Amino acid sequence: MNATGLKEICQRAMDIGMGIDLTDCPYGETTGPCSFVKRPTKYYFFLAGFVRLQRLTHVLEIGTNCGGSIMSIYNGLCEDDITVSRLATVDIIRKNDEGFKKYPFIKRIQGDSLDGGVIEKAVNFFDKDIDLLYIDSLHEYGHTKKNIDIYSGKLKPRYVVLDDIRQCDDMKRLWSELEKQFGDNAFDASDVSIRKGAGFGVLRWG
Ligand SMILES: C[S@@+](CC[C@H](N)C(=O)[O-])C[C@H]1O[C@@H](n2cnc3c(N)ncnc32)[C@H](O)[C@@H]1O
């Protein structure tokens, strides 16, 4: 796989994602200027399309918030894959119980993703190596790197996706190191996923 290959996959994923209905996956509460976003954000379509295109079935998300991203990932599953799929999401806080009622299939784990008990629960939930590790929690260098190291070491994902790679100096530094390490298997998908400001990075891990 070369850089063009990963870029093409990401472009195609966004095209496919834009055709997936995510109307019941609003972002919800934010810490930004708008305190509640009633619609899905653009990168949700990317995530859903990526899952559909690559037929991903085993996904771990770090950073649930209201669940919009993991619900979008669920909506990206191919129909035939739903029963064999495993989706889990971790957050220190628990929000949107009402919205999650429609998604009983998604495993929610409450706690700090770096806590030993939480790591054990998340890892034991999966019956095999995972397809996607999606990290969108505290956007600090050490925190994000530890999450990558721990979960990729234990669950050997095919892909790692990082949100907010342009958001702050810490995330820019981490992404630049990963680009050097992964070369053609790292793609800055910020433009493709219409996340130019905050940034969105895709790594082909496995
Ligand atoms: C940006 S939000 C996630 C947004 C969500 N992925 C989406 O796209 O809809 C970040 C979340 O990370 C959670 N978080 C922060 N530190 C965490 C930690 N140590 N372990 C687990 N979750 C954490 C926060 O509680 C917050 O809900």
Q: What is the CATH number of the domain that holds 60?
A: 3.40.50.150
The range of the structural domain enclosing residue 94 comes to 3-204
Residue 97 Cα, ligand 1 centroid: separation in angstroms? 16
C-beta separation of 53 from 12 below 8 A: yes
180 exposure class (CB count in 10 Å sphere: 0-12, 13-18, 19+): exposed
Residue 178 CA to chain centroid, in angstroms?
17
Residue 139 CA to chain centroid, in angstroms?
14
- Residue identifier of the C-alpha nearest atom 27 of ligand 1: 65
Report strand pairing: 28-29 vs 36-37.
Answer: antiparallel
Task: Tell me: pLDDT of 198 over 90.
Answer: yes
Q: Could you tell me the maximum CA-CA distance found in the chain, to the nearest angstrom? A: 43
Domain count, the chain: 1
- Provide the whole-model pTM: 0.97
Q: One-letter amino acid identity for 158?
A: R
Residues with CB under 6 Å of ligand 1 are 27, 62-65, 68-69, 90-93, 112-114, 136-138
> How far, in Å, CA of 69 to CA of 22, rounded?
10
The residues with which 203 forms a beta bridge, in sequence order, are 160, 186
Which is the closest atom of ligand 1 to the Cα of 113? 20
Percentage of the chain beyond pLDDT 90 is 93
Q: What is the pLDDT of residue 3?
A: 46
Task: Tell me: pLDDT of 27 over 50.
Answer: yes
- In this prediction, residue 84 has a pLDDT band, given cuts at 50, 70 and 90, of very high
Q: One-letter amino acid identity for 20?
A: I
Which is the closest atom of ligand 1 to the Cα of 43? 8
Q: Any residues with CB less than 8 A from the CB of 189 and at least 6 apart, and which?
A: 10, 46, 195, 200, 201, 202
Task: Classify residue 72 by its DSSP letter.
Answer: H
Q: What is the pLDDT of residues 133-171, one digit of tens each?
A: 999 999 999 999 999 999 999 999 999 999 999 999 999
